[in-house]
Amino acid sequence: MEEIDMSLMAVKILVGFFTLFLMTKLLGKTSINQLTPFHFIFALVLGELLGNSIYEDKIKLVHFLFAAGLWTSCLWGVERLTQRKKSTRAFWIGNPDIVIRDGIIDRNVLLKNKLDVNQLLSLLRQSDVFSVREVKYGILEPNGTISVLRKSMYQKPNKLDLNLPQSPVNLPITLIIDGEVLWDNLQQRGFDQLWLKNQLRTHGFDDEKGVFYAEWRDGEGIHISPKIISHD
């Protein structure tokens, strides 16, 4: 009996493997970093269907083929619909959003995409950007990655290209996130509340409540993104 079960499992695995391979071919060559949340959920459900088919004797091979075929047909239909009618793409796939303009973070875009400042900073670091002040435009893509266009002064050619002497490289220190002062970071840098208040007033802020994000970098000073942004 055990030998029969193992044989059936082997058949299910082989059939499932080739079925998933054919479905992947059918749906195109989207790379991993291009997968949207919609595609990610599709892959999870498809893997779950195969897993249940392998370990559940009550689920026959024909049940798996039907479920996987129907699930793939749904995704294929959505793909075709978004290719033929661009107006449906925003609903099914999503559109890119400009989350940073001229070094200023757009709080509303972050809230709309369920992101916080720390997640945004992590995405920037993955793009080799360690300060928002370097960003001319930061575009949040539908797959959750961020595309960055640096300001001209931070673009190449670099100092090595121009044969210029090297200068110290300093990491920015976050001082304020969504109206709250990070006192540990402030004190670690040797600043106090009075210094911060003077910096905010110099840039037109009465207090930290109107600041969405603020950072300090040696040699460049403080950089502030307000909570309310006017694009006029």
pLDDT of residue 4: 46
Q: Residue 88: phi, psi to the nearest 5?
A: -85, -10
> What end-to-end distance do the CA atoms of the chain give, in Å?
75
Max CA-CA distance within the chain? 81
What's the CA gap between 5 and 186, in Å, rounded?
Answer: 65
Q: Please report, for residues 2, 3, 44, the alpha-carbon distance to residue 50 in angstroms, rounded to integers and kept in the order given.
A: 21, 21, 10
Q: How far is CA 42 from the centre of its chain?
A: 19
pLDDT of residue 138: 94
pLDDT of residue 144: 82
0.75 exceeded by pTM: no
- Order the strands of the 180-181 sheet from edge to edge: 180-181, 173-177, 211-217, 221-226
Q: For residue 95, give the 3-state DSSP assignment.
A: coil
pLDDT of residue 1: 40
pLDDT of residue 132: 94
Give the list of residues 6+ apart from residue 141 with CB closer than 8 angstroms, or none: 96, 147
pLDDT of residue 11: 75
Closest CA to 146 of 171, 172, 120: 120
pLDDT tens by residue, the chain, 232 residues: 444 466 767 777 777 777 767 766 665 555 445 556 666 677 777 777 777 777 776 777 777 778 777 877 877 787 778 777 767 766 777 788 999 999 999 999 999 888 899 999 999 999 899 999 999 999 998 878 899 999 888 877 655 566 667 667 678 999 999 999 999 999 988 999 999 999 999 999 999 999 999 999 988 899 999 988 765 5
